[in-house]
Amino acid sequence: MISQPDPEAGLANRLFWSRHANPGSVWTFVGAYLLLVASIYRRSRPLLVGTLLFVAVNPLLFSPPKTDDAWATRVVLAERVWLERGLVSSSHTWFTLACAPVYLFTLRSAANRQPLRTGVGTVASLALMLLFFDRMARLYEDERSV
């Protein structure tokens, strides 16, 4: 079973992992991606700066979850384990690398103000993000059953 981060285990666990495991943090990060794309498309510096500041403080806005019942919580707990194990030979890493061109395509399309490409890229990006989340949730379930 994947355990919750130990509050005494360090700054990263206290300020990021334990709080980011709150579903509110996860889903507002997803929303922040949409705002990032919009800020680039609109060339809005205030929206871009606001989005980046929100991303920086996001985990501080939420308390650690009490249980791992929420799907989003299990996703984050599994991400932590995936990163702690090392990324080099993981199929999750290859999946992430394979998705990177879609995210870059989306951001480039937004920067070039190509509405159709930006829209298609954003939808594809979100679909890939949810697929990654699903992979992480399954990793959590696999670890939990061991």
CA 136 to chain centre: 11
Mean predicted confidence (pLDDT) in 49-58: 95
User: What whole-number distance in Å separates Cα of residue 110 and Cα of residue 96?
Assistant: 21
Global pTM value: 0.83
Coil vs helix vs strand at 87: coil
Model confidence pLDDT, tens digit, residues 54-94:
999 998 899 999 999 999 999 999 888 888 777 665 787 88
Task: Quote the mean pLDDT of the chain.
Answer: 88
Residue 1's pLDDT band, with cuts at 50, 70 and 90, is: very low
